[in-house]
């Protein structure tokens, strides 16, 4: 295990070399200020916007991007990864010969969106810290960890330069680890796409269950994460390790969590994480995200809207308001002993009725039996196959959706291909691009307009595998599917 510290990095290597910080946002501002405070010469390259004004206000010389690239010897590309390839091609690449090109993320190089010219050193200095922390922890004197890496070593000193830059931004004070560009990008995406969401869904599942069981919402949210105890404990896990931090909790807590923890070792979770990692490594995610951006990010907008429509979003907002601020851990006793503002029982239940309708355990009065469901689906699929709106949606598409209704033991498939729609009961002949698994009751609710499909997915009543963009594209014909389903349902119940 190798971790680099101050003594492993020589900032003299950077003496007399002008550092051009391209972009003055989260990372750009923090890194430019730290490098300057470390005694290095820094100029800023930025388009004319409020970030450029901020850089000037902070006392930097600010130049247009191409001019900064021409005047600097070492270039730190600190603009959003999404815009970087185009900016790089037009403004940076023509001025690079013989220089050092540094990235704070391996993404564009690892997935082939940027190919640097062969005569430059290409290094990675990627803080494991948000921009505000990069600056605050530099000023506090403790620094923050970073990954460094080398993609091209023309000078023979690329790694030393990366270490010197890491020292300049204050990272070797905390510790620096060497990785490849691909490893940095893959680990970063894995955290965002697998670990983060899995962790998030553990939280939302717990909230959902406890509210369903009638616990007061403000107590549930405070207990699980809004007290700040969870974030404090995560800090202690980083400091002391998973096992030893246990000593900070009661023995009841230690015994309970260790003896009951085994039941959450779910093979399915590991399999889903592996699937996510494979999508990342194969470049499938990078290609999908590039296509989504080219289309103007409609799926991202729909997913954000769906997340905001979840009851939890509103509950959190109301609790934040009731508390006055989100409690963050402060060692001062006042913060620990602060009493919560009273929330009346009446108001509490008004919240719940409005935002979190109790799920009934008894079957919905309108629920269909398995045999009725089969008849409805048969009629629905026959209508779908001949429907002009679905045929229009199908033009230029190749999309197979496979629905599995476990509780009623039914499956059906809809295939949209080049203007035609094939729909029938049973699984598809080959692999489906999108597979949805839910219950007959939820599907019936979705197609009769009682249940929002996105909300059902986000609250765990519906799971899908496949590409999110393709699954979301079916939303375009959701109204038509509902129209056809309702007609089939009415005919069956008549
Ligand atoms: P940001 O979103 O804060 O970048 C804003 C800057 O980009 C501004 O200076 C703005 O003028 C410039 N910019 C935006 N659009 C532009 C365009 N079309 N053409 C030219 N300039 C444009 O970026 P952030 O978050 O600082 O990320 C920069 C790099 O740092 C990325 O590679 C990112 O992956 C990496 N990184 C970011 C971290 C973070 O905490 N945000 C953490 C570690 C790495």
pLDDT at site 458: 67
Q: State the pLDDT at residue 476.
A: 85
Q: Ligand 1: does its nearest atom lie under 6 Å from the Cβ of 286?
A: no
Domain boundary among 179, 212, 244: 179
> Which residues face 121 on adjacent strands?
100
Task: Give how far Cα 185 sits from Cα of 30, 110, 134, 220, 395, Å.
Answer: 21, 7, 19, 36, 36
From the number of C-beta atoms within 10 Å of its C-beta (0-12, 13-18, 19+), residue 219 rates as middle
pLDDT along the chain (494 residues), means of 10: 96 97 98 98 98 98 98 98 97 96 98 97 97 96 96 98 98 97 98 95 90 92 91 91 90 91 89 95 95 91 84 86 67 36 48 47 60 95 94 93 93 95 94 92 90 74 82 85 94 91
- 175 φ/ψ angles, rounded to the nearest 5 degrees: 135, 135
Structure confidence at residue 369 (pLDDT): 85
Tokens found for residue 344: 């009346």
Mutate to test the pocket of ligand 1, among 25, 69, 184 (most ligand atoms within 8 A of CB): 25
Q: Are 424 and 413 contacting, i.e. CB atoms less than 8 angstroms apart? A: yes
What is the domain-level CATH number for residue 388?
A: 3.30.1050.10
Question: CA angle, 370 as apex, 367 and 376 as ends, to 5°?
Answer: 75
Please indicate, yes or no, whether residues 376 and 340 belong to a single structural domain of this protein.
no
Is 169 inside a domain boundary?
A: yes
| 433 Cβ below 6 A of ligand 1 | no
CB of 91 closer than 6 A to ligand 1? no
Strands 121-127 and 100-103: parallel
Residue 441 lies in a domain: yes
Position 81 in a domain: yes
Cross-strand pairs, 190: none
3-state secondary structure of 483: helix
Nearest CA to ligand 1 atom 22: 79
> What CATH number does the domain containing 101 carry?
3.40.50.720
DSSP bridge pairs for 19: 42, 74
Ligand 1: nearest atom to the Cα of 127 = 43
Question: For ligand 1, what atom is nearest to the CA of residue 134?
Answer: 40
- For ligand 1, whether the C-beta of 146 sits within 6 Å is no
Q: Is 188 in the pocket of ligand 1 (CB under 6 A)?
A: no
What are the residues whose beta carbons fall under 8 Å from the beta carbon of 235, sequence distance 6 or more? 329
Position 361 in a domain: no
| Three-state secondary structure call for residue 358 | coil
Q: Which of 78, 85, 92 to probe ligand 1 with, by most ligand atoms within 8 A of CB?
A: 78
Please return the burial class of 376, using the count of CB atoms within 10 Å of its CB with bins 0-12, 13-18 and 19+: buried
* Same structural domain, 350 and 458: no
79 lines ligand 1 (CB under 6 A): yes
Task: State whether the beta carbon of 55 lies less than 6 angstroms from ligand 1.
Answer: no
SS3 state at 463: strand
108 lines ligand 1 (CB under 6 A): no
Helix-, strand-, coil-residue percentages of the chain, each rounded to 5: 55, 15, 30
Question: Is the domain of 20 the same as that of 115?
Answer: yes
Instruction: In whole angstroms, give the CA distance from residue 103 to residue 74.
Output: 11
Same domain flag for 170 and 228: no
Asked whether residue 263 is assigned to any structural domain, the reply reads no
127 in contact with ligand 1, CB cutoff 6 A:
yes
Please count the other Cβ atoms lying within 10 Å of the Cβ belonging to residue 343: 17
**What's the CA gap between 334 and 320, in Å, rounded?**
18
Any ligand 1 atom below 6 A from CB of 87 = yes
For the chain, the domain total comes to 3
pTM metric for this prediction: 0.82
**Distance between Cα 23 and ligand 1 center (Å):** 6
299 and 382 assigned to the same domain: no
The parent domain of residue 317 ranges over: 186-255+268-355
**Quick one: which atom of ligand 1 is closest to the CA of 83?**
18
Burial class of residue 229 (count of CB atoms within 10 Å of its CB; 0-12, 13-18, 19+): middle
CB of 131 closer than 8 Å to CB of 25: yes
CA–centroid distance, 143 to ligand 1, in Å, is: 21
Q: Whose CA is nearest to atom 5 of ligand 1?
A: 25
- Say what the pLDDT of residue 483 is: 94
Are 133 and 153 a contacting pair, CB within 8 Å? Answer: no
Helices (H), 6-130: 26-37, 50-57, 65-71, 84-87, 107-110
**Which helix (DSSP H) or strand (DSSP E) does residue 413 occupy?**
strand 410-417
What six digits make up the tokens of 293?
Answer: 């951006």
CA of 259 to the centre of ligand 1 (A): 45
Residue 415 lies in a domain: yes
350 with 240, same domain? Answer: yes
Same domain, 26 and 166: yes
Q: Is the CB of 81 under 6 A from ligand 1?
A: yes
């Amino acid at each position: 295990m190798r971790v680099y510290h101050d003594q492993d990095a020589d900032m003299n290597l950077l003496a007399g070399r002008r550092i051009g910080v391209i972009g003055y946002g989260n990372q750009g501002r923090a890194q430019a200020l730290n490098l300057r405070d470390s005694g290095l010469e820094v100029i800023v390259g930025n388009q004319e916007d409020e970030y450029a004004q901020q850089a000037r206000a902070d006392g930097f010389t600010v130049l247009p991007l191409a001019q900064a690239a021409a005047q600097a010897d070492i270039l730190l590309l600190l603009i959003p990864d999404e815009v970087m390839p185009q900016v790089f091609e037009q403004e940076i690449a023509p001025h690079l010969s013989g220089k050092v090109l540094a990235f704070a993320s391996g993404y564009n190089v690892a997935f082939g969106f940027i190919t640097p010219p062969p005569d430059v050193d290409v290094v990675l200095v990627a803080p494991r810290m948000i921009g505000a922390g990069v600056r605050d922890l530099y000023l506090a004197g403790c620094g923050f960890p970073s990954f460094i890496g080398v993609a091209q070593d023309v000078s023979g000193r690329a790694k030393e330069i990366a270490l010197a830059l890491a020292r300049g931004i204050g990272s070797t004070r905390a510790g620096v680890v060497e990785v490849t560009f691909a490893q940095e990008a893959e680990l970063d995406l894995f955290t965002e796409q697998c670990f983060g969401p899995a962790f998030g869904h553990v939280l939302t599942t717990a909230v959902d269950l406890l509210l369903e069981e009638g616990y007061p919402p403000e107590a549930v949210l405070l207990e699980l994460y809004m007290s700040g105890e969870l974030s404090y404990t995560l800090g202690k896990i980083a400091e002391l390790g998973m096992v030893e931090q246990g000593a900070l909790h009661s023995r009841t807590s230690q015994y309970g969590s260790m003896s009951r923890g085994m039941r959450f070792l779910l093979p399915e979770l590991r399999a889903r994480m592996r699937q996510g990692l494979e999508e990342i490594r194969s470049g499938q995610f990078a290609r999908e995200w590039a296509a989504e951006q080219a289309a103007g990010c409609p799926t991202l907008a729909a997913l954000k809207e769906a997340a905001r429509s979840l009851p939890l979003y509103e509950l959190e907002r109301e609790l934040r308001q009731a508390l006055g601020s989100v409690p963050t851990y402060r060692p001062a006793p006042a913060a620990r002993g602060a009493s919560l503002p009273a929330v009346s029982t009446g108001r509490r239940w008004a919240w719940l009725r409005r935002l979190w309708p109790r799920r009934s355990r008894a079957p919905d009065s309108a629920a269909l039996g398995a045999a009725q469901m089969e008849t409805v689906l048969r009629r629905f699929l026959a209508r779908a196959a001949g429907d002009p709106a679905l045929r229009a949606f199908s033009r230029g598409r190749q999309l197979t959706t496979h629905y599995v209704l476990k509780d009623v033991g039914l499956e059906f498939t809809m295939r949209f291909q080049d203007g035609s729609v094939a729909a029938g009961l049973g699984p598809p002949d080959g692999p489906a691009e999108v597979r949805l698994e839910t219950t007959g009751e939820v599907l019936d609710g979705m197609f009769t307009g009682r249940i929002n499909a996105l909300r059902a997915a986000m609250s765990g009543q519906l799971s899908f595998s496949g590409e999110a963009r393709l699954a979301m594209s079916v939303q375009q014909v959701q109204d038509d599917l509902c129209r056809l389903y309702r007609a089939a349902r009415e005919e069956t119940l008549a």
